[in-house]
Amino acid sequence: MSKNTAIGIILLVLLFVWSIHNSNKQQELAQAELQRKAMELATEKAKQDSLAAIKGEKPDLGVPELTASPSATPPANPVATTEESPFAAQDVAEATVEIAEVPSQREILVETEKFFVKLNANGAKITSIVPKTLADKAGNFPELLQNTEAGALSISFDNADFGSVVFSTQSPDAIIVKDSAKVAFEWRDEKGRAVVREYKFTKDGHSIGHLTRIKGFAPKLYTLNWKGGMKETEEISTASSFGMSYLFSEVIFNNTYNVARETPAKQTWFNRDQGKALWFGLRRKYIAAVINFNGESEAALGAEPIKEKKNEKDPGTYALTISDNMTADSIALDFSILPLHWKEIGAMGEGYEKIIVSGWEWCGADKWFVWLCGLLLQILNAFYSIIPNYGIAIILLTILVKVVTTPLALKQLRSTRSMMALKPELDAIRAKNRGDMRAQQQEIMALYARHGVSPFSGLSGCLPMLLQMPIFIGLFVVLGRAIELREAPFFGWIRDLSKSDVIWSGISIPYIMPEGIAILPFLMVVSTWFQTKQTITDPNQKMMVWMMPAMMFVFSAVMPSGLVLYWTISNLWGIAQYIVINRKPATLSNAKGKVVEAKIVKGKK
């Protein structure tokens, strides 16, 4: 054997070994790919099993009429098939078919009088929502979706996820809605299966009508995904403070008898065991977006916090999953974008006003307190229509509320004065009969009877205050949440009644006024001190004269200036009212109706 022949044989052997090794490696890679896809399918099946369990069904997520027999020849390129069709897992055992050309991914921008919406052919979903009603001071409109790539209204049927499937469409790239418009996306395969998704717009409507129709397959469940969450449209402060947060991020839904506003800390399912719902959605401070089924639905709502936040003060947002039985070949809904103007959303008759404020069901506050808040906001807007300045409207509304509640306040103050006038004699009786409680009570009751004072005066004095509380709480709620106060100026340095009236940002008080020095909180604290000093005369409670203003200063320093203005005017009214009532010394009526001055009686030692 020649040298060259030996070298040639060695090279052939090495080539053969290399080819076998490379073939095994390819097979291993192919097997790994199949295992990966099987794992994905198993994960999806487990998810759908969980959804089926929520509905009390026996999990059966396949589509039997689409599944080929085991004897069929597998496709020549299963990877390509998987990329083309959401049903690839079912079709992997079917005969090889010619792969259709994939339509190119497109984005379509739709503009109405209310918003800009971007639709993406990848999943036929919404990938951008820009409301026109919440422009900032520079005139820029905010993006509403926190994660535009994930978007909203992607859909899946059983284990067939259409969230990343490329749909085809004949719509132009940009549409300005002059009356109405429709954008249609279609996915269709060679087996006759089809999914058509249509979005309908009107010129001045708040809602996007949506219809998804299927053909050629019969799924058990459908799942709508809103994975992009909702971004806060307002500036979020990065400074730490002791005060309350006036931002909102909530999962909202109408369970047919009330509106629930939830802030789950982990993945949570609502309405899954029983019950029905009219709509589901998300809410931030001045805007909400809801998926409305235009009737009662038994869909289950899943909400999971999205970890991505602007900063530690951002309450964050949620990814929503809505799933229900597929009982027809179509799914119809409205996707509504709702700037939280009470009058507009209340007129829709869907209970949307309860997104702004709701109440406890056990005492009926979900009805009467919501009505009270709506009335207060209506009066505020009525004052604004007369004098177009919301600062003046707040002052007028505060005075009106104080005038209306004055009879209750007077009754409370008179009851307090009566007890104060009797206090010297009460102290003397208690000192004289310190060891005889029975004698003490008898003399006290005789004293009450002599002056015509009820022994329950202390409790009756609290009743007027309790009756006023819902009104004051309603004002507090309305002025802290009303979109009307957004960027509404008052005068001078108060340029936005929805924010603190910072006049000097060059210096700050850590944790109290972190963004700078504001003026209204100091005025409110001074007025609170005067009012507290007037009303607290018990030496044992003197500390409250200082504690109450200090507490209010901590909380009011980061309050919206509209709220602080209301509180300050309320304090000034209370001070003036107390001075008027207490111009004369405290007197009591005796049993015969004669007015006598209170006497200080000292007990004998």
Q: How, if at all, do strands 174-176 and 107-111 pair?
A: parallel
Return the percent helix, strand and coil in the chain, to nearest 5: 40, 20, 40
As a whole number of angstroms, the distance between CA 519 and CA 503 comes to 7
pLDDT category at 205 given cuts 50, 70, 90 is very high
- Tokens 């998804």 found at: 212
Q: What pLDDT is stored for residue 399 in this prediction?
A: 94
Q: What pLDDT is stored for residue 157 in this prediction?
A: 95
Q: What pLDDT is stored for residue 19 in this prediction?
A: 47
pLDDT category at 563 given cuts 50, 70, 90 is very high
Q: What pLDDT is stored for residue 585 in this prediction?
A: 60
The predicted model gives 267-276 an average pLDDT of: 85
Q: Does 232 or 97 have the greater pLDDT score?
A: 232
CB atoms within 10 A of CB 514: 19
pTM, two decimals, is 0.74
Q: Does 222 or 15 have the greater pLDDT score?
A: 222
Q: What pLDDT is stored for residue 17 in this prediction?
A: 42
The predicted model gives 571-584 an average pLDDT of: 83
Q: Are 123 and 150 within 8 A, CB to CB? A: no
Q: Are 512 and 241 within 8 A, CB to CB? A: yes
Angle, alpha carbons 522-526-527 (nearest 5°): 115
CA 184 and chain centroid, separation: 31
The predicted model gives 227-241 an average pLDDT of: 85
Find the range with the poorest average confidence among 78-92, 450-464, 470-484, 562-576.
Answer: 78-92
Mean pLDDT of the chain: 79
Q: What pLDDT is stored for residue 11 in this prediction?
A: 44
Residue 185 has pLDDT above 60, yes or no: yes
pLDDT category at 238 given cuts 50, 70, 90 is confident
Q: What pLDDT is stored for residue 546 in this prediction?
A: 84
3-state SS record for 509-556: ECECECCCEECHHHHHHHHHHHHHHHHCCCHHHCCHHHHHHHHHHHHH
Q: Does 13 or 537 have the greater pLDDT score?
A: 537
As a whole number of angstroms, the distance between CA 512 and CA 500 comes to 12
- Tokens 């899946």 found at: 156
Nearest to 179 by CA among 207, 147, 208, 201: 201
